[in-house]
Homo-oligomer: A and B are copies of this chain.
Amino acid sequence: MPAKPREIVLQSSVFAVEKLSIAIGAGECVTRHIVRHPGAVCVLAVLPHDQLVMIRNFRVATGQWMHEFCAGKLEPNEDPHDAARRELIEETGYDAGKLESLGSFYTSPGFTDELMHAFVAHGLRHCGSALQPDERIEVVVRTTAEFDALARSGEICDGKTLATYLRWRLLT
């Protein structure tokens, strides 16, 4: 019986792992595993006086507290714009008067199809946060000069935060 060309071999609450058989010419195949992800959003939230709302987030995967823009995965059938607004409220306690797209990017296309939808939020109004039970998050405010220094020193070491900030700097 021929091998299945595609097969889901693991399903977690966030992602699935798909096993693929890929032809590389002359009848040869290689097996690859791909992490299939529902996609996510990342929100750069701007306060007056050149200040950015960020979070310090304890990441189980890396075992450390990280400086990030607020972010989260898409719920089933959720529009990225709605997810961005929801995550901003849940994680930072701010609602956005205006939310604009900064486009999207793949976080690590070597092994996953996770697509990150980046947004910039303006006109923030504080309304109170609503963290998930397994989230450990502190809200922090950094000026863009502080951001640059923290990105330069390596203290900001979250890929989506760095990529979203570059898009914002290039687009505004």
Instruction: Point out residues on A near B: beta carbons under 8 Å.
Output: 9-10, 12-15, 17, 20, 22, 24-25, 28, 30-35, 37, 40, 59-62, 66, 68, 71-73, 103-116, 133-134, 148, 151-152, 154, 157-160, 162-163, 165-167, 169-171
In the assembled complex, the Cα of A167 lies from the Cα of B159 at a distance in Å of 11
In the assembled complex, 19 residue pairs joining A and B whose CB atoms fall closer than 8 Å, in A order, are A12-B33, A13-B31, A14-B33, A14-B111, A22-B134, A28-B133, A34-B61, A40-B110, A61-B111, A72-B110, A103-B157, A105-B154, A107-B108, A108-B108, A151-B166, A152-B171, A162-B162, A165-B166, A166-B166
How many chain copies does the complex carry?
A: 2
Kindly provide the distance from the CB of A135 to the nearest chain B CB, expressed in whole angstroms: 9
Top 10 closest pairs, chain A to chain B, by CB: A12-B33, A162-B163, A107-B108, A103-B154, A166-B166, A59-B109, A105-B157, A107-B159, A159-B163, A34-B61
The reply to whether A60 and B22 form a contact with Cβ atoms under 8 Å apart is yes
CA distance A143 to B35 in the complex (A): 33
Chain B residues with CB under 8 A of A9: 10
B148 and A170 contacting across the interface, CB-CB below 8 Å: yes
Query: A159 touching B15 by the CB < 8 A rule?
Result: no
> Considering only CB atoms, which chain B residue lies closest to A68 in the complex?
B109
CB pair B108 A160 closer than 8 Å: yes
Q: How far is the CB of A28 from chain B (nearest CB, A)?
A: 8
Q: Which of B109, B111, B115 contacts A15 (CB 8 A)?
A: B111
Is the Cβ of B134 less than 8 Å from the Cβ of A152?
A: no
